[in-house]
Structure 1
């Protein structure tokens, strides 16, 4: 018996333009408020940014069978996407206008299975250290009983955003 799922998302160009034109914390708060569209990957996997403050970001997710690997649990790539998003947005929340980040690495540890029966989980990212060019962040994936399901550390590169004319801002 086949199953299907329809996914809708908004044009990501609006948020991409706003990302470099706003301080990171303001940008993420605009996304939570719905004044900027979320990223298409969040619509595809079904997760949302729920909280953000300086150096911290929290995503919520509820797994379905569409997230499963062939052995009946959520695919590790879904875990990694949630953890990378939480760690990266924690870093983004610390950035001034005219700067951006990209993940350089992500080291993940899968500790407990995640299934459609697990219920709502939270990916909580925090910045451990931030310099001018790199930041170190961690993220944990927690179930409703605050049990740690997975953990990751991430190094992010911080860079100036070109303004479109070839000149770098900030």
Structure 2
């Protein structure tokens, strides 16, 4: 039986043009409230930013069949996208105005399978260290019972972003 899914998104340039004009935490809070449009990836994969504070970001999603790999469980790339988003936003939440970041690496450990029966999952990112040029964050992917499904660490490069 064929299944289909339709979704929409807003112009990603609207949010991208705001990067660097305010602190990373202020920027993320504007995404959280909907003042700035969410990135298209969140619509594609169906996840949302649920919480943000200094050094911490939480994303959540309900796994669906559209996330499956050929063996009948959520594809590791979906895990990685959630973990990368949470770790990266944990870093971003600690950046001053005029500073941006990009991921240098992402090291993921898959611990448990995720299926539609898993229910809502959350990716919790935490800043571990922020220097002048790099930052280190971790993220945990958890089910509703707080069981660890996957873990990641991410190194990020920090760089100046001129106001736009």
Q: Which runs of 5+ in 1 are unaligned?
A: 165-170
Question: Quick one: distance in 2 between partners of 1:14 and 1:96?
Answer: 20
- Partner SS state of residue 159, structure 1: strand
Question: Quick one: distance in 2 between partners of 1:163 and 1:62?
Answer: 36
Q: Paired residues, what number?
A: 164
Q: Which runs of 5+ in 2 are unaligned?
A: none
Structure-2 residue corresponding to 1:75: 75
Question: Quick one: distance in 2 between partners of 1:163 and 1:118?
Answer: 43
Structure-1 residue corresponding to 2:104: 104
Structure-1 residue corresponding to 2:84: 84
Query: Would you say the 8 A contact 2:74–2:113 is kept in 1?
Result: yes
Q: TM (normalized to structure 2)?
A: 0.98
Question: Quick one: distance in 2 between partners of 1:115 and 1:130?
Answer: 35
Structure-1 residue corresponding to 2:130: 130
Structure-2 residue corresponding to 1:167: none
TM-aligned CA deviation for residue 162 of structure 1:
3.5
Q: TM (normalized to structure 1)?
A: 0.95
Alignment RMSD (CA, Å): 0.8
- Partner SS state of residue 146, structure 1: coil
Structure-2 residue corresponding to 1:22: 22
TM-aligned CA deviation for residue 163 of structure 1:
4.4
* 4+ runs deviating over 6 angstroms: none
- Partner SS state of residue 94, structure 2: coil
